[in-house]
Amino acid sequence: MDFLDKLSETITSKGREVSDKAKDLAEIASLKSQINTCEEVIRKNYIEIGKMYYEQHALEPGEEYEEACRAIMNAKNGVADLEQKIRDVKGI
């Protein structure tokens, strides 16, 4: 009987450990999800700040922003050129 009691006790103990570990993993997953949500809010607002700066200062950016603003202007011009090519192909 002693063996069966120990076996039962061991199984119960391991079951609790597994249950506790599963709860910890679920909590960690929830916290990581919340972190990702916060980081997404930060990223979106950084982007919005960048867009507002660009719209206000694109023609006269601060020296440290000249290269990035020039790259945006070049990309916008590239998009416009490609859109025109699409219109040309469509015969519009």
Model confidence at 74: pLDDT above 90: yes
For the chain, the average pLDDT equals 93
pLDDT-derived band of residue 1, with 50, 70 and 90 as boundaries? low
Helix, strand or coil for residue 55?
helix
Residues 17-32 have a mean pLDDT of: 94
Q: How far is the CA of 91 from the CAs of 79, 83, 84, 86, in angstroms?
A: 18, 12, 10, 8
Q: Are 73 and 58 in contact, with CB atoms under 8 Å apart?
A: yes
Q: How far is CA 41 from CA 28, 32, 37, 65, 81, in A?
A: 20, 14, 6, 23, 33
Query: What is the mean predicted confidence (pLDDT) over 26-49?
Result: 98
* Averaged pLDDT for residues 52-79: 94
